Amino acid sequence: METTNIYVLIDPRTNIVRYVGKANNVTQRYRAHLNRARKHQIHKKNWIEQLKREGLKPIIEVIDIVPIGDWIFWETYWISQMRAWGFDLINYTNGGDGCTFANQTSFKKGQGGKQVVGYNKDGVKCYNFDSIRQGETAIKTHSMWGVLKGNRKTCKGLAWFYYEHIKNLSELELINLIKQRFTTISVVNSGSFKKGNISLRRQKVDMYSLEDGYLKTFESIGDAAKEVCVTNGSIQFACTKSKKGVCKNYKWKYSK
């Protein structure tokens, strides 16, 4: 089975994930990110140039290897997941090579467009428009763009997608993607997490030095994040997906 890579770019100063992308060849993609002559999204370009001025480069790590035919679903999933964990991503879209600010104006003016569809929380298709302009006019809103570029999860109580990004998904994959839009993660006073109606128990985590020397055990990810002044998602990512397991110059593992 042919596969491709979902990767992240990490800020070496904070070990925080800033960008999620897809690449068949990760090495070539990394070189492209560092190439000044190449046209980049402005936020990503400014971030990388700032690192270079400090003599640094972003860290690239593969977080998932997926079937190449399903890469749109998984890139969208990981962007959504990273944002749910609290990472301040510089991705312009919610995945799948969607529209960027560079071409937003042309769509608003009606100089072309992509078919957009809206689903309710039960997975029922409620709207199917030939373009975002037509959709925003029909439902009298200017917020659909926020959903399609990943800054919002829903608009008018519906999850919106570019049809071309979901047309090849299976029914189950599409339903799971829609459910993500209507699922939130919140912290409650007890220190546990709630995802929909499912409660997740507090998970102890161990802190180690970069030389693998044991330092301390925390009762929860939240306690560890407060100790080193990072988001909960940063510690969770280090424990689950980061190959090095490093965050804020410490190594992290779930307690056994």
Q: CB within 8 A of 194, min separation 6: which ones? A: 185, 186, 188, 200
Structure-model confidence comparison of residues 3 and 225, the more confident one: 3
Q: 62: which DSSP letter?
A: E
Question: Does residue 7 carry a pLDDT above 90?
Answer: yes
How far is the C-alpha of 201 from the C-alpha of 193, rounded, in Å?
7
What pLDDT score does 241 carry?
64
Please tell me the least confidently modeled range out of 91-95, 190-194, 214-218. 190-194
Q: Express as a percent the part of the chain with pLDDT over 70.
A: 78
| Torsion sign across C-alpha atoms 60, 12, 180, 42 | negative
Q: How many residues does the chain have?
A: 256
Helices (H), the chain: 26-34, 42-53, 71-84, 101-108, 132-139, 144-148, 163-166, 171-181, 221-228, 232-240
Measured between alpha carbons, how far is 92 from 176 in angstroms, rounded to an integer?
22
Question: What residues are paired with 127 via a beta bridge?
Answer: 118
Least confident of 74-78, 199-203, 236-240: 199-203
Residue 255 has pLDDT above 80, yes or no: yes
- What was the pLDDT predicted at 231? 65
Q: Which distant-in-sequence residues (6+ apart) come within 8 Å of 231 by Cβ?
A: 16, 85, 86, 87, 225
206 pLDDT exceeds 80?
yes
| 250 has pLDDT over 50 | yes
Q: Are 151 and 143 in contact (CB under 8 A)?
A: no
Count of CA atoms in the C-beta half-sphere (13 A) of 72:
16
Which domains can be identified in the chain, with CATH numbers? 3-84 (3.40.1440), 101-183 (1.10.10.10), 186-254 (1.10.10.10)
Q: What is the mean pLDDT of the chain?
A: 77
Helix (H) or strand (E) run with residue 182 in it: none
